[in-house]
Amino acid sequence: MNYLDLISKKKQYKYSANICFDLKDEEKLANFIPNVTTTEIIREYLLGIINGTANNHSRILYGSYGTGKSHLLTVLCAILGLINTSGNGFKEFARSIEQYDKDLTNDLRTFVKEDKPFLVVPVFADFDEFDKCISYSLKKELERNNIKICFKSYFDEARKLLKKWETGEESAKRIEEECGKNSIDLGELYQGLENYDSKSEKKFNDIFKGMTYGATFVSGTGNLIDNIELANETIKGTHKGIVFVFDEFGRYIEDFGETIKVKVVQDLAEFCDHGKFNNYLIMVSHKQLSMYTDKMKKESSEEWKKVEGRFLSTSINSKYDQCLSLIPYIIPKTKKWDSFKEMHQQELNELYNQGWDFKGFLLPPKKINKMGPFEGGYPLHPITLYSLDRLSKKVAQNERTFFTYLASDEEHSLSDQLKNMQDDRFHFVGLDSIFDYFEANIRAYKSEEIYAIYKKLQFAINKLGVIDNNEIQVKILKAMAVIYIISDLSVLTADKDTLINVIDEDKELLSIALSKLEKMKIVRYMRQYGYFDFLDSSIYDLDSMIDEKSASVTDDMAISILNEDFSGFVVYPYEYNSTFHMNRIFVPVFVQKQDLGKKTFFNSLPKFYDGVIAFVLDQQYDPNEYAKIIDIPERMVMLINGDSKLIKQEVKRYVAILYFYSKREELKKDDPTVEKELLMYLGEQESVVNDLIRKWRSISNNNVIPMVNDKVLNINSELELVKKASEIMFDNFSKTVIINNDLINKNVISGAIKQARYKAMNYVFNNENIYDNCSVLSPEHTVLRSVLSKTGISDDGTVVVQDINKLPNGTIAGQPVMHALNKYLKKCEKAQVNLEEIYSELKQAPYGLRDGYLPVLFAYALKNYQNVSLFFHGTERDYSEDELVKAIESPEDYSLYICDWNDGQTEYIESLEKMFGQFINQNNDSKNRLRDLLYAMNTHFASVSKAARTTDKYVSEITKQYRSIMSISYKNYNKFFFENLLQIDDDLQNLIVQISNIKFELESVVVKQYRNVERSIRDVLALNNTESIVKYISKKYEEDWQVKSYKAFDYNTNTYMEYMSSMNKTETDQSFVKDVAKMVTGFEIDYWSDSKIDDFEDEFTKIINQLENYQAQDSLNQNEMKIIIETGTDETRITQFDKAELSTNSQMMFNKIKATMDSFGQGISYEEKMQVVAKLLGEIMQ
């Protein structure tokens, strides 16, 4: 039988419509095939324009290739322009539309009887300037309608060109000749062009053709809006308005998008929307404009996105499957169909039933023709027809589309494929056939995803090789490629049933071929999804390797992997969480029955948890065994899997795949494709295990026994499990504080909420009223209100009683927690108590508090205590917001102590604070008085002189004891003040007096030292206490010592003489004493040790004796030497000293200087050498 005889082709559908050339083709009206979507668009576009009710005059119509956009626009424009609307073409069109919308048809019939059409302007995309395309197309359409018009830009450019020609010697002669030939007066032509007279246009065109040897004059566009307004004024008596239609606008942007002036497009859209004339702009594109412009420069791309937003967009991609309504018209059945249908009714019904079972079709709301929805599509299988439509929208181009496949005679088209169906067997067009037609498009398509599928197909076919009878296998592979390119796995997958039914081959042979492909590792059955996929297989037999490795995986290893990789879910007790406004969870844990009571199982659980869902693997379930287990975790629901063998096997297989994946680098040395294959195996196996766990968790398997303690629960679904979880939470966490703030009511809070919490704590720490200076509705205000006020913890009057949260039993929500906290704080008043004690109590039942708000509760509970101390491993830390948060984060490392002082202790501390007040930072926000006081005492101790801190001569024994205490660093501030200092005197009243005396004694040490130095100086100089030291020394220097200043004494004496030469006579004795003390000893008095006074007295005596014993003379002694350096400008420098043998060091110095000078030889002159020596001596003699 010849299947071609069953259908007749409508070749007019082979080529897509072109509005610029097909507008006057009456057949385009007659052959238009409407459907629900196109009818809705016609109603929306046409009636809005015809009736003047359209709010948007600027629109974009989107649709992929082969959706009939251009044909639809051609029909719209023909009706608006009243083109061919009086003939049979319009009548056929109206009858077709009437099947979908009778009211619309009546409106259209009424409109075409009117006298005034719209001027429809198909835009020619011949120029890279958008405005030029519009102006050129407008003028062309006006001329086609015999409407004479000339835009102003034409006249202006024509005048300029005439003037240019007149200025040229040769061109001036030629223009004169052309005017003579055409009987044109050049002066009158100028006048006509200046007055924008349309008659002058023809005259200028004649001259231009003569001057350019036959060329046509094309002027610039001028102002686009001016041109359109002029056109509107010209046609307002004959037309209702202008409709601009720019087909293939997306492709135009693709070609010229970077150079188009985007504002011109925007201006035209705004002119149409808001102008006084009845103008419309309709643009057509295959996809959104942003998809064409996303690769442009960012600035251009952003501009196009803004412009696109000004247009009202419509998609022609059908809500319903237009392929079902189109195909009966494109390949209508012949007279032979009825007999064929009768002969093969059973086979056809099977195909139709497969179409009905297929979930991909969205059928129109009503039946349009007498045929069923799938009969019109035969000989295509219904799924092939669906795939043809989807594949065409994915990869089609102008030359190959949905329509060209059905209506053309080219290779692999429908008619070409039907030629090969010549036998009497029942045939249909399978999914593989449309791949053959679109293969060139698929191969050339720019999408990486589509091309990747094509490469997989080619690899699979190559791997199949040239073997006998592989045609069926190739068809299966092509069908799979089509399915994956369409990529709508929610309705169309490459499962076995689909592949066997959509290929025109014997089903048994197809089944065998599919098994062969799987055996050859060309395709792989994805167990978790139930369909086949291409397998980029390696040289390794992974299945055998995995099976072998799985056998060595232990049960313990499988359990460990379950807990590591498959426990990423929780069970929520929704009812409890809703009541207490929080998120408690039951965490999952996988365990074998024999491990339930073991310590290792307990260690695997979080330290603090709400509840546990234990997935127990127990192949031989016996309820009596569970009654024997004494110690099991609290708040645990067990889901016992009595058929755990399967999940163990699958998990062990997963472990085996993980092992080989860890060895992938080694395996890749022989075949790099193994990594990709292993990833596929891993993903599939992970899904298989997750699916088994999902069924286990949902208790959908009869082998799953839910149990709490040793009691079997009567629950059969996950919903009932959730209800049971809530019951357990209500029973165990009945005293949880209710905090309506999800952002802080959890263990791990965000950085922003941490900052808000810190600010909230700061208000608690520093304000009597916690809300003072706290902005309403700020994050910190929300924290304070939800944690303290709404819970009834803070009685600040900001929340009325009825709005305070209450527990289910009626108790104010915060009372139980604060009762526990206050009880703990009472213990802390007697001794240091580890913070872990109260933290653990509050984290466990019946409280189960969250870490997020715990610091706020602690801060408020400690608010009224003055002397709070936090100890980190025995070291006292400053009690502050940050330290409190750290303590709650690591409670096992911290202890809390609250010092409750009696009156005597309070007076003692206050006296010390007054005594050392000047060293206490009054601007410090610290909450630890003792730390601040110790810091002040340390600061004072550091401020006294070093001598005061070390002398045994100037202080008492009790001060020495105090110094010993203060020389040690202390971290326990309470111990320092109430134990260490009490070593001095255990009577606090006496201790205050003692410390005051000690403070004075330390501060007086420098004074005592100064007096001793002054006494020594007076003794050496033989001065009594009433004489001025400075006056005596000054007089002595002037009368006796000054003439001896040239003498080179020892270092100290020379230094003393230099000091005397520049000493201020008005200087006080005190300053002189301090200066001389430092000058002689090299240290200030503050730093002297007790023996330094003796050293000073000896050295000062030596200086005075040298000066007194030396007799200055005009002539030199035999053993003396004098050096004088005198220049014309500088001060004369003189030194005098005794000659002596050079010491070892000075001899070495002499040798080095001499050797250096000798090494220069005659390199420097005698004068230069003397200058060097003089400069060196000058510096020494300064």
* Averaged pLDDT for residues 84-98: 86
pLDDT category at 287 given cuts 50, 70, 90 is: confident
pLDDT of residue 664: 93
Tokens 């010209």 correspond to what residue? 234
pLDDT digit string, tens, across residues 182-208 = 888 888 888 887 776 767 888 888 888
pLDDT category at 636 given cuts 50, 70, 90 is: very high
CA-to-CA distance for 831 and 895, rounded, in angstroms?
Answer: 10
pLDDT of residue 1003: 93
405 exposed, middle or buried (CB, 10 Å; 0-12, 13-18, 19+)? buried
* Averaged pLDDT for residues 13-21: 66
For residue 16, the one-letter residue type is: S
Tokens 């030469």 correspond to what residue? 1061
pLDDT of residue 452: 87
CA-to-CA distance for 174 and 1033, rounded, in angstroms?
Answer: 121
pLDDT category at 1162 given cuts 50, 70, 90 is: confident
pLDDT digit string, tens, across residues 952-986 = 999 999 999 999 999 999 878 888 999 999 999 99
* Averaged pLDDT for residues 1025-1040: 90
Q: And the tokens for 1095?
A: 């050293």
pLDDT of residue 29: 80
Least reliable range by pLDDT among 363-367, 472-476, 555-559, 927-931: 363-367
Residue 241 has pLDDT above 60, yes or no: yes
Q: Does domain 19-145+237-315 have CATH number 3.40.50.970?
A: no
Residue 220 has pLDDT above 70, yes or no: no
CA-to-CA distance for 664 and 673, rounded, in angstroms?
Answer: 10
* Averaged pLDDT for residues 78-96: 87
Using a pLDDT cut of 90, give the percent of the chain over it.
44
Query: Closest Cα partner for 697 from 588, 577, 560?
Result: 588
Instruction: Report the interhelical angle of 988-1021 vs 1092-1109 (nearest 10°).
Output: 10
387 exposed, middle or buried (CB, 10 Å; 0-12, 13-18, 19+)? buried
Q: What does residue 301 show for φ and ψ, rounded to 5 degrees?
A: -60, -40
pLDDT category at 218 given cuts 50, 70, 90 is: low
For the chain, first and last CA: distance in Å? Answer: 129
- SS3 category, 331: coil
- SS3 category, 553: coil
pLDDT digit string, tens, across residues 980-1030 = 999 999 999 999 999 999 999 999 999 999 999 999 999 999 999 899 999
pLDDT category at 320 given cuts 50, 70, 90 is: very low
pLDDT digit string, tens, across residues 1067-1097 = 899 999 999 999 899 899 989 999 999 999 9
CA-to-CA distance for 425 and 423, rounded, in angstroms?
Answer: 6
- Number of Cβ atoms within 10 Å of the Cβ of 826: 12
pLDDT category at 136 given cuts 50, 70, 90 is: confident
Contact 722, 574 (CB under 8 A): yes
pLDDT digit string, tens, across residues 769-802 = 898 889 888 999 999 999 999 999 997 777 888 8
pLDDT of residue 858: 96
Contact 637, 725 (CB under 8 A): yes
Residue 590 has pLDDT above 90, yes or no: yes
Using a pLDDT cut of 70, give the percent of the chain over it.
95
CA-to-CA distance for 272 and 59, rounded, in angstroms?
Answer: 10
Query: Closest Cα partner for 1097 from 1019, 1045, 1005, 1001?
Result: 1019
Residue 245 has pLDDT above 70, yes or no: yes
CA-to-CA distance for 188 and 179, rounded, in angstroms?
Answer: 11
CA-to-CA distance for 1120 and 1140, rounded, in angstroms?
Answer: 9
pLDDT digit string, tens, across residues 378-408 = 999 999 999 998 888 788 765 677 888 888 8
pLDDT category at 558 given cuts 50, 70, 90 is: very high
**Prediction pTM value:** 0.58
pLDDT digit string, tens, across residues 681-703 = 999 999 999 999 999 999 977 78
pLDDT digit string, tens, across residues 465-522 = 765 678 999 999 999 999 999 998 889 999 999 999 999 999 999 999 999 999 888 9
pLDDT of residue 289: 78
pLDDT of residue 767: 86
pLDDT of residue 782: 94
Q: And the tokens for 88?
A: 């049979």
pLDDT digit string, tens, across residues 884-905 = 999 999 999 999 998 878 889 8
What does 272-297 look like in DSSP terms, one character per residue? HHHSSS-EEEEEEESS-HHHHHTTS-
pLDDT category at 668 given cuts 50, 70, 90 is: very high
Higher pLDDT, 943 or 1061: 943
- For residue 136, give the H/E element and its range: helix 130-144
Distances 399 to 11, 159, 207, 252, 405 between C-alpha atoms, Å: 14, 46, 44, 18, 10
* Averaged pLDDT for residues 820-840: 94
pLDDT of residue 421: 86
Query: How high is the mean pLDDT of the chain?
Result: 87
pLDDT of residue 1127: 74
pLDDT of residue 381: 94
Length of the chain: 1182
